[in-house]
Chain A
Amino acid sequence: MSIFSKYESLASSLKAVTAGGGRNPFNVVIEKPISSTVGLIEGRETLLFGTNNYLGLSQSPAAIEAAVEAARAYGVGTTGSRIANGTQGLHRQLEQRLAAFFRRRHCMVFSTGYQANLGTISALAGKDDYLLLDADSHASIYDGSRLGHAQVIRFRHNDADDLRKRLRRLDGTPGAKLVVVEGIYSMMGDVVPMAEFAAVKRETGAWLLADEAHSVGVMGEHGRGVAEADGVEDDVDFVVGTFSKSLGTVGGYCVSNHAGLDLIRLCSRPYMFTASLPPEVIAATMAALDEMERHPELRVQLMDNARRLHAGLQAAGLRTGPQASPVVSVVLDDIPVAVAFWNRLLDLGVYVNLSLPPATPDQHPLLRTSVMATHTPEQVDRAVEIFAVVAREMGLNHAA
């Protein structure tokens, strides 16, 4: 028996997706980014509507220059973990810079956003504690819960009353209760009602961790995320985030006012047992953070584009999530239709993400788009037009 035989159903699912000569949607190659909004795919210039590069900063000239200078000055890697030889002056500077940005006393930087969730959640919620997770949590949150051995209880998506009910069932049970929510959920782009969760946290004495990966740089007057936008930052004990979305690089972090965060450096395995971020990434991230702070108008452009895309797709008769946010997903009913739709979009020059169950809520396949501040209104309109053309070809523009 092959060691891969347990993946036979996966192989047949992939075969079904690529049947009839369709592309492998999980193996798309962007041969070269031409700008933040256009990439070369299959030799053709293609509009990028699925890169999470919300502010377009992956192509920021200031960040590129900072990376080049840092590589020249410090080399291209640290060759070690944060607890050994992998902490350089730049790592400390970035942690101080992030702590100042979030107005928090402590910050830990991780090598990826995935590891930030894995390393924070697994270390905070131990064997005798309870983790209360939103049902639609990202894989990194679920994986963090498995690494930490806490008892894990799911509550209904974005439903603070359901969380309250589940916390009430734990009344009198020993162990800390850590609630984890996301600022913007990555599949449907829906925003957490953070003030409602903050109220439950205050009532019950639970701890609250917010993963603001998709909302930092996007929400709040200063771009600090949904907690800032809702005026409840003091109720959020830990903010986890990533550099690989609004800041355009790679890496992750956790910020907090709790001094105990520094102890986690000594027990968080995803922090301790991996190489630290290379100098050029840190320098580029700090430059991108400067750009983000210097250009609040990027957030305005981003939300204008999000509303334009959301309204356009709805007007084309397609089903989307309820609110306009930088993630706008078109919900379809069955997988073969979603696969054919996605292939046709790429034929016509628009790249989006194809998201399939069980990675999506409610078992529906999604054509997941993400918008950028750097998209022009004409690019957004062009993408909507191509969606509408494909919807008409496939007889899906029912409501239009």
Chain B
Amino acid sequence: MTETVASVSALIVKTLLANPKVPRDINGSSKIVEDLAFDSLAVMNFVMEIEDTLDVSVPLDRLADIRTIDDLAACIVSLKQAS
């Protein structure tokens, strides 16, 4: 299956909503740190879950440029395409 930014973004939102502490009104443009109130460790742990679902590794340096859920989705799609 070929992932698109939209499909990966939807998967990330679904994964996040499985956590009852995450606000219910998130979407692709939600900011991961500000809107979800995730600290640095929570972001890394959550990305690990997504990595397993999509069989991809996101290097930590790439996380520095990621603000929104769509940014993360675009990063994952580009990594999948590169591999």
Residues of chain A at the chain B interface (Cβ within 8 Å): 130, 135, 145, 149, 151-154, 156, 166, 169-170, 357-358, 363
Which A residues are CB-close (under 8 A) to B55? Answer: 169
Determine if B83 and A154 form an interchain contact, defined as CB atoms under 8 angstroms apart: no
Partner of B57, one of A145, A156, A170, A363: A170
Binding site for A on B (CB under 8 A): 39-42, 44-45, 48, 55-61, 83
A356: min CB distance to chain B, Å: 11
B44 touches A153 (CB 8 A): no
Chain B positions within 8 Å of A357 at CB level: 39, 41
- Tell me which residues across on chain A come within 8 A of B45, comparing CB atoms: 135
Smallest CB separation, A2 vs chain B (Å): 21
Give the residues in chain B near A152, CB-CB below 8 Å. 59-61
Instruction: Give the complex CA separation of A357 and B45 in angstroms.
Output: 13
Q: A156 with B83: in contact, given A145-B60, A363-B42 (CB under 8 Å)?
A: no
Docked Cα-Cα span, A46 to B44, in Å, equals 38
Question: Contacts A357-B41, A358-B39, A358-B41 hold; do A169 and B57 have CB atoms under 8 A apart?
Answer: yes
Nearest CB of chain A from residue B19's CB, rounded to whole Å: 12
A-B contact pairs, 22 of them (CB 8 A): A130-B59, A135-B45, A135-B48, A149-B61, A151-B61, A152-B60, A152-B61, A153-B57, A153-B58, A153-B59, A153-B60, A154-B44, A156-B48, A166-B57, A169-B56, A169-B57, A169-B83, A170-B57, A357-B39, A358-B39, A358-B40, A358-B42
Q: Which residue of B lies closest to A170 (CB)?
A: B57
Cα separation A145 to B48 with both chains bound (whole Å): 18
Question: 8 nearest interchain CB pairs?
Answer: A358-B41, A151-B59, A152-B60, A358-B39, A153-B57, A169-B57, A166-B57, A152-B59
- With A169-B55, A169-B56 as known contacts, state yes or no: A154 contacts B48, CB within 8 Å: yes
